[in-house]
Amino acid sequence: MTWYFDSHIHLSDPEYLPYMQFILNEMKILKIKACCVSMDHKNSLQTLQLAKKSELVLPFLGIHPECADDNLESVTTLIEENHEIISGVGEIGLDPTYTKTDEDSKRQLHIFESLLSCAEKFEKPVSIHSRKSLDDILQIMTSFSTKHALLHWFDGNKKQLQKAMDMGFFVSFGPVMIYANDKQTLLSKSDESKILVETDGPVRFSRCFEMKSGQTVFIPSVIFCASKILEKSFDETALMLEKNSNSYLGI
């Protein structure tokens, strides 16, 4: 049976804790693996603990741009100490939404580049946050040899998408794609070998999802939507995404 992958979810977020065992059971039944990204040092530790409970949880350690005041050294040390068991580095990136001064921006950039170097050192894939910073991210990435990079929740234009494809990066689409025409268009313009799907839970989704937090069980619906856009069967699309996910993870 084909495995489904949620390429980006904050599964170690406290919101999921009360019913974590139920989620893990669902993932086992539905054959879903989840790239569990982290926000900061404390959350990275929680991610590692969660990964010990289930081999379906693929741990990513990092510092989200919102948490740029976190201790960088403690996170890089955690990655170094656990590089043989973690699946990747993330969530990392840039986002001016969380900066007020030039010093904030410099700090965010320093953390991003430091964690990219760490991922490069241990040959780990990276999960990148690029909201309102995609051009800067693409420019920065030219200085790194990280090939297994995911621009999660891709929200650029067609020109930026083409540049990302030319650079060999992966792009992921989530539940919003089911009801957003612009995301459907971007998916249709993407290199099929570079497409991944995600939920970014516990982000909440409107329309058919009734403002529920993103769950790994949403993934089959996202795959079904993608299959219609790509004019493939569900099984063909699921198999393609499994292959892409394994390629991204380097397995």
- Pairwise CA distance, residues 99 & 148, whole Å: 27
pLDDT string in tens for the chain (251-residue length): 899 999 999 999 999 999 999 999 999 999 999 999 999 999 999 999 999 999 999 999 999 999 999 999 999 999 999 999 999 999 999 999 999 999 999 999 999 999 999 999 999 999 999 999 999 999 999 999 887 999 999 999 999 999 999 999 999 999 999 999 999 999 999 999 999 999 999 999 999 888 999 999 999 999 999 999 999 999 999 999 999 999 999 99
Q: Which tens digits make up the pLDDT trace of 167-205?
A: 999 999 999 999 999 999 999 999 999 999 999 999 999
Sheet strands (E) in 40-87: 57-61
Dihedral over Cα of 146, 58, 26, 212: its sign = negative
Structure tokens at 227: 């299959």
- Is 34 in a helix, a strand, or coil? strand
Cα dist from 158 to 195, 200, 238, whole Å:
15, 22, 24
CATH entry, 4-249, from 1.20.1070.10, 3.30.590.20, 3.40.50.720, 3.20.20.140: 3.20.20.140
Q: Where are the domains of the chain?
A: 4-249
17: left (phi over 0), alpha (psi -120 to 50) or beta: alpha
238: left (phi over 0), alpha (psi -120 to 50) or beta: alpha
